[in-house]
Structure 1
Amino acid sequence: MVVSAANAFAKEMSIRKRIAGIYNKREDDFSSLREYNDYLEEVEDMIINLVEGINVPAIEARISEYQRENAEQIMNAQARKSCGSQAGTSNVPQGQYAPAVAGGIAQPRPMGIPNPLGSGHDMMGLEYEDEETRRIRAEKAARAGGWSFEISKKRALEEAFASIWV
């Protein structure tokens, strides 16, 4: 059962990826939000039908027709997507400082007062918590959610004794 669920998930993801590469209009391509939502609903219905194997030949014919009619728009969207993904890449290895470049001039690295190690704050300026503080916070959160140790203990005992008589 787990293998078939994983296969079904992989199948759905590959179908979604394929359809997203073809049906890639954005909200600003439509004159109203209603038209855009109808478009998204139509695409989602096609994906579900392909995943479930419902009316596949007709859907594949619609996809082929859409690709022929909108070939230029599909290529533009794919080019826009590839340019957008390349904009975030750089030649600097991940985790190292890369100066920002604006107008061909490297911007200076921002200077600030660094927090010394052991100051009780992390890199985001949030305070470290010791083990006792974390434990207390977790207990308070559990009580706020209606959980208590007594209820859990009572339920475990009831379930244990109920199983004896079965």
Structure 2
Amino acid sequence: MVVASTNAFSKEMAIRKRIANIYNKREENFPSLREYNDYLEEVEDMIFNLIEGIDVPAIEAKIAQYQRENADQIMIAQARKAEEYAAALAASKGQPAQSDGDALGQGPQAGSSTGPQGHYAPAIAGGIAQPRPTQPLPVGSFPDMLGGEYEDDEKTKLRTERAAKAGGWSLEISRKRALEEAFGSLWV
């Protein structure tokens, strides 16, 4: 029972992640809040239909067409998201975010390969900064951090079950507690 809900949850999360990487416009991309809300509603309808298996070929065709028509905007939004993530990560570590001027060698440490003590700054080859990559990697394409290989549904399910057991959780305890709480709330 728990496995079925875990599979449904992982399916939904995979669909949401995939659609969010494609349909990634923000409110500032729209002239009015109403149009933005319509866009969000359309995206949620597509996600729901994909999860439930309703008219999947038509939705997949619509997604493919949207990807072809908006490929540049999708790449720009993914790059912007990666830069925002990097800035947030640097801020969470208490380090100031590196500006584009610093990254291009125009900052106070131009020409050096290290920044403040112990920190890495990109090397500059021949006084010219290396260009940024033009296309970010898709979020789901990174190898598993533990095993160095890609995870399929079976490995994800097995890892989830092992983590639950390691944490002391079991289905029997959960059922027993639910029954005790249900019967404990009855008034005679």
TM range (shorter): 0.5 to 0.7
Q: Does 1:56 align with 2:72?
A: no
Contact 2:12–2:51 (CA<8 Å) still a contact in 1? yes
Give the aligned partner of residue 132 of structure 1.
none
1:43 is displaced (CA, Å) by 0.2
Give the aligned partner of residue 13 of structure 1.
13
- Taking the aligned partners of 1:45 and 1:29, their CA distance within structure 2 comes to 20
Give the aligned partner of residue 25 of structure 2.
25
Q: Report the residue type matching 1:71 in the other structure.
A: A
Larger radius of gyration: 1
1:85 is displaced (CA, Å) by 1.1
- Taking the aligned partners of 1:100 and 1:67, their CA distance within structure 2 comes to 31
Give the aligned partner of residue 43 of structure 2.
43
- Taking the aligned partners of 1:85 and 1:69, their CA distance within structure 2 comes to 26
Percent same amino acid at aligned positions?
64
Q: Report the residue type matching 2:84 in the other structure.
A: G
Aligned residues between the structures: 108
- Taking the aligned partners of 2:65 and 2:95, their CA distance within structure 1 comes to 46
1:86 is displaced (CA, Å) by 1.3
1:89 is displaced (CA, Å) by 3.4
Give the aligned partner of residue 67 of structure 2.
67
The alpha-carbon distance between structure 1 residues 87 and 56, as it changes in their structure 2 partners (threshold 3 A), is same
- Taking the aligned partners of 1:73 and 1:100, their CA distance within structure 2 comes to 24
User: CA offsets per residue over residues 105-158 of structure 1, 9 Å max, x none?
Assistant: 8xxxxxxxxxxxxxxxxxxxxxxxxxxxxxxxxxxxxxxxxxxxxxxxxx9697
Alignment gaps of 5+ in structure 2: 109-182
Give the aligned partner of residue 168 of structure 2.
none
Q: Report the residue type matching 2:29 in the other structure.
A: D
- Taking the aligned partners of 1:100 and 1:32, their CA distance within structure 2 comes to 32
- Taking the aligned partners of 1:5 and 1:100, their CA distance within structure 2 comes to 40
- Taking the aligned partners of 1:45 and 1:157, their CA distance within structure 2 comes to 38
- Taking the aligned partners of 1:75 and 1:100, their CA distance within structure 2 comes to 22
Q: Does 1:2 align with 2:6?
A: no
SS at match of 1:24: coil
- Taking the aligned partners of 2:83 and 2:39, their CA distance within structure 1 comes to 25
SS at match of 1:45: helix
User: CA offsets per residue over residues 86-114 of structure 1, 9 Å max, x none?
Assistant: 12334xxx87x657999968xxxxxxxxx
Report the aligned-residue RMSD. 3.1
The alpha-carbon distance between structure 1 residues 77 and 4, as it changes in their structure 2 partners (threshold 3 A), is same
